Structure formats: structure tokens, C-alpha cells
Amino acid sequence: MATLVGIAIKRLPFARVLQLKRSLVSPANGLDGDFRGRNTLGKPRQVTLLQEEHWLETCRELGAILPWTKRRVNLFVVGLPALGPRNVGNVLAIGRVRLEVTGETEPCPRMDLARLGLKRALSKGWRGGVTCCVLQGGSIAVGDEVILKPF
């Protein structure tokens, strides 16, 4: 079973990451309070998601133990099959919330401020996570089951 193990938002660009235990999610605003969530003209990047397995693989490669929040994504999940290009269009169900996978979350140069080499390490095989748009809103909480549904 895949599980949501972390939720985070950033209120402004470059702001610090705030971890939450629960959040409201909507098609209009993504995660409540996150600056990137507002949907303007079908924006494909309202919510970002990182898999724990990919993060741990990246940390091992760097020889470092880093908190997942250094990646600056919204959702941290464990137990999903490896997500990649074949999953674009698939739907992730977290309770009533439905997120469509829209693409890869490409690592930015800011990653190297957290750890030198992190950007390069995250660029391999979609390790940096996926972008999603919100199809159906609701409430999510750490501990919720995450289900991948093919389109």
C-alpha cells in the first residue's frame, strides 16, 4: 500500500518550506496556502510529488542524509511504483482528491544550495518527482493511502 508521509507548502517563491499534517486541496488553488497552486488556464503544475524511494536513492548516491523538504515539493509518498514518463495522464487518488500526473518536476539550480550535486542526482530517471494538476479537491492528511490509477 502506498502512503502519503509528508505534506508541505511554500507561501511565496523562495520562502521556507512549511510542513503540514493535513491540507485542503482544490482545482482552483492546489494545496491551500501554496503559492504555486493557483490554476490559471489549466496550469499543469499545481502540486508536486516526490517518492521516498527516489529520494533515498538520491541521498545514497550523494552519501548524505537529507530531509525530503530540501527537495521543496508538496507531497512525499512511499510505496508507489516508480513514476516516469509512461505515467503522464495517470491519476493519483488520495482520499477524495484526484491528481493528474502532468510531467516531471525538473530540479532547479537551487537544489545545489541544499547539497552540491543534488540537482544532477535528481535529474536521473524522474527522481526529482512529478507535477500534477488537481482534478478533484478535498482534504488530505499524512497517513492517507495513495492509489495510482491508469487513465
81-113 confidence digits (pLDDT tens): 999 999 999 999 999 999 999 999 999 888 998
Share of the chain above pLDDT 90, in %: 85
The H or E element that residue 61 is part of is: helix 52-62
pTM (global) more than 0.85:
yes
Q: Are 22 and 8 in contact (CB under 8 A)?
A: no
Give 15-45 pLDDT, tens digit per residue: 899 999 999 999 999 999 999 887 665 668 8
Contacts of 111 (CB under 8 A, 6+ apart): 70, 71, 118, 119, 122
Per the prediction, the chain carries an average pLDDT of 93
Domains and CATH numbers, the chain: 2-149 (2.40.33.20)
C-alpha span between 57 and 55 (Å, rounded): 5
Tell me the C-alpha distance between 55 and 129, whole Å: 9
